[in-house]
Structure 1
């Protein structure tokens, strides 16, 4: 990442050089001018020129900020974008990027402020409206989310299709007069025992007050997802379909709906958006009679959530400062904190390192089964990792059968956690490598996290491993 930092420094030097050159010209003008009025006019013109960067220096700042963003240096990029906006409050692209960075950081007040400003600068541009809708979505204000999408061709918009597929206006408006993710239950936390931990954690839940059914946990998913046949049995309403992107670059149709309630342990969550996919076909691979659904990141987002692999349980705590303080006080042993950002509607990302390559952002996907890591092909090649083609197998993905080729990463880090000889898999293109405007090297999965209790704190955007 050194070249991004070097580019940023060069940008500052260029701007400073331009300003000093213009001030030197002012001095010469003053020395040669005889009339006081000419001197004053010359000084005013020169000071104005010094205050406004040249087109070249401005473009250099934008380019430097964009490179920092692409490298995942969001704070550094934000400082440069802020400088650009301070110099030119009508700069739409810098304003939009400040809104994007705030959304990645889950600073939703800042997100709203910057994106509303961006909309005022370009009322016809869809990107700011879509990200503003996502900010309202994260606040469970579905009516404002729907209103923010006014004028956006939701069904055809590329940003919605690729990053925010749950922004379905009909689904959002169906919650009018209701509170999405309304929590019913006593106490400060609830614990649900894993039915199994491998190949992925399974838990029993109850949907719409019915009998217990088995779901697997997958932070690579967003909303709670139901098997399509199970959803039909429940009479789940449908609000349309989107194209889902899955492992290996595969695509398949995902239908959108909602359920009245989901019960986990002693708590019940009411008014829950859902997706629908054919999941029962995966049951044999999990070694259980029937898989009926998935718990994804969006449900976790509403709690201080712990996947306690060593003790075989899922812990949900109320999402407030008191719960976080109690968690820190009660938890024992060494705790490692990893800052995170959230791209799209559920992609938790944090800094890690593959072999001896420079640090890079990695996606937290606990649903990566049978491995601890999956890397983009470009990273595999750059790191000199050998694919074991003679051990290739076929496996089930979210959108069909995949050829899975194993490999080993000798050193893999996520935050300050470092593991050796981590099993990896290659199953085709890594579709999220450049999807979000910044570089993602791959994902960290089940086998990497299994030795730890992993806690997701969405208020302060950090992941704890202990």
Structure 2
């Protein structure tokens, strides 16, 4: 991932991205919507976020033409989106045999292996995908990564805004203040925290960050403790200026999606706490039972580009669409982010006279206030609430910067405040319940 590798590094360096990338979503108008009506166009189904139907359509293509690289790779990626690892490995390895040097296939397969903590298998795939840093990093991991000690950890947010911060201990040291954000992949610490914790990089490389040359380091952390739950042998990154100084001092580090998908995670916005559980079948059953008692219906989730989380929601009159769901980060007061083009298509009232200069994945961006009549995900709904429309937001971003699915938008930090949300990455479900978590 030579290009989006840098994009990932920037996103994890600048974890608070106001217009952070929406995950997969569906088309609103035009030819794509018509094309998938009869189920004959696999790519149109995929672009629409109709992943199960797309998967079956790609299988039909492969029955007729087993040498179709695009169909094999796409079918494998559809499996990866839902953490269906046997499917993902079957079809991605089929694609790899057809084109061993294909970077996209190698990166997808590398991601498939790291989600299963199979780092020895992941490393050569990332190297073939053009990402030497990831390859060297994963080669250095010995034994079981993300070892979980304890059953549950609950940490309070200090504060809620402009971004939630939680206290965590690094290698047994004093409490540090960490942001968390599902728009970023791995655990990050500040350079000064890495030094204090005695971290030694297994690999380093120079990159650009907001016009500044910095060094990015990869290492492995012995211990990361949140409340009464401890993770051991955790992949970690940090960055510094040429002089060795911290790149940012807003917090002591950032917790990304890789940590959360190893756990049964509850983002308790209403209770202003982060609840992390060992993902046992018993813990999952309790979450499901609690949700059922509260009348909460589970929603499907998928995971794209190694850390972006998506589910089904709607903006204005879009109808149910596959949309991004972001937790944590500094999202300001915007409940949903979308593109200006989508806002215009949906007839959303947009105040283009009041541009807002901000950042998205460490790039300068301009967004406009907009006010959809309704935004909804499951039973969570808001009416006439402040949202933002990105002036340069793209409807469809292909690999390596996106995954080629038509984007409607994403739910951000502000939207979740009345709720607690639990993510079950074993069964790939999301539960949204009003009020504090029990």
Bigger RCO (CA 8 Å, 6+ sep): 2
Residues 85-121 of structure 1, C-alpha deviations (whole Å, 9 max, x = no match):
2223333221111101001111011111111122222
**What corresponds to 2:227 in structure 1?**
265
Residues 287-331 of structure 1, C-alpha deviations (whole Å, 9 max, x = no match):
xxxx11111211110011001112221111111322110222345
- What is the alpha-carbon distance in structure 2 between the residues aligned to residue 242 and residue 131 of structure 1? 24
Q: Counterpart of 1:306 in 2: which secondary structure? A: strand
Q: Counterpart of 1:336 in 2: which secondary structure? A: coil
Please tell me the root mean square deviation across aligned C-alpha atoms, in Å: 3.0
- What is the alpha-carbon distance in structure 1 between the residues aligned to residue 205 and residue 266 of structure 2? 31
- What is the alpha-carbon distance in structure 1 between the residues aligned to residue 111 and residue 52 of structure 2? 21
Please state how far the C-alpha of 1:385 moved relative to its aligned partner: 3.1
Please state how far the C-alpha of 1:454 moved relative to its aligned partner: 0.4
CA contact (8 A) 2:217 2:239 kept: no
**What corresponds to 1:198 in structure 2?**
161
- What is the alpha-carbon distance in structure 2 between the residues aligned to residue 404 and residue 10 of structure 1? 37
CA contact (8 A) 2:186 2:235 kept: yes
User: Are 1:75 and 2:49 an aligned pair?
Assistant: no
Q: Counterpart of 1:78 in 2: which secondary structure? A: helix
User: Are 1:444 and 2:407 an aligned pair?
Assistant: no
- What is the alpha-carbon distance in structure 2 between the residues aligned to residue 111 and residue 406 of structure 1? 40
User: Are 1:463 and 2:436 an aligned pair?
Assistant: no
CA contact (8 A) 1:92 1:121 kept: yes
Q: Counterpart of 1:127 in 2: which secondary structure? A: helix
Please state how far the C-alpha of 1:270 moved relative to its aligned partner: 1.2
**What corresponds to 1:116 in structure 2?**
93
Q: How does 1:227-242 map to 2 (within 5 A)?
A: 227-238=190-201, 239-241=203-205
CA contact (8 A) 1:433 1:442 kept: no
1:414 to 345, 354, 377: 377
**What corresponds to 1:351 in structure 2?**
312
1:303 to 245, 256, 263: 263
Please state how far the C-alpha of 1:148 moved relative to its aligned partner: 3.0
**What corresponds to 1:317 in structure 2?**
277
**What corresponds to 2:298 in structure 1?**
337
Please state how far the C-alpha of 1:200 moved relative to its aligned partner: 2.6
- What is the alpha-carbon distance in structure 1 between the residues aligned to residue 416 and residue 340 of structure 2? 22
User: Are 1:364 and 2:328 an aligned pair?
Assistant: no
Please state how far the C-alpha of 1:402 moved relative to its aligned partner: 5.7
What is the TM-score of this pair, normalised by structure 1? 0.76
Q: Give the unaligned 5+ runs of structure 2.
A: 1-26, 241-245, 434-438
- What is the alpha-carbon distance in structure 1 between the residues aligned to residue 156 and residue 334 of structure 2? 23
CA contact (8 A) 1:224 1:299 kept: yes
**What corresponds to 1:7 in structure 2?**
35
2:146 to 175, 181, 199: 181
**Between Structure 1 and Structure 2, whose CA radius of gyration is higher?**
1
- What is the alpha-carbon distance in structure 1 between the residues aligned to residue 46 and residue 360 of structure 2? 31
Aligned positions, number: 391
User: Are 1:171 and 2:134 an aligned pair?
Assistant: no
User: CA, structure 1 residues 220+407, in 2 after alignment: closer, same or farther (shift >3 Å)?
Assistant: same
Please state how far the C-alpha of 1:233 moved relative to its aligned partner: 4.1
User: CA, structure 1 residues 73+173, in 2 after alignment: closer, same or farther (shift >3 Å)?
Assistant: same
CA contact (8 A) 1:115 1:132 kept: yes
Q: Give the unaligned 5+ runs of structure 1.
A: 12-60, 156-166, 284-290
User: Are 1:98 and 2:98 an aligned pair?
Assistant: no
**Structure with the higher fraction of residues in helix conformation:** 1
Residues 12-68 of structure 1, C-alpha deviations (whole Å, 9 max, x = no match):
xxxxxxxxxxxxxxxxxxxxxxxxxxxxxxxxxxxxxxxxxxxxxxxxx5xx10111
- What is the alpha-carbon distance in structure 2 between the residues aligned to residue 392 and residue 216 of structure 1? 27
CA contact (8 A) 2:335 2:415 kept: yes
User: CA, structure 1 residues 182+123, in 2 after alignment: closer, same or farther (shift >3 Å)?
Assistant: same
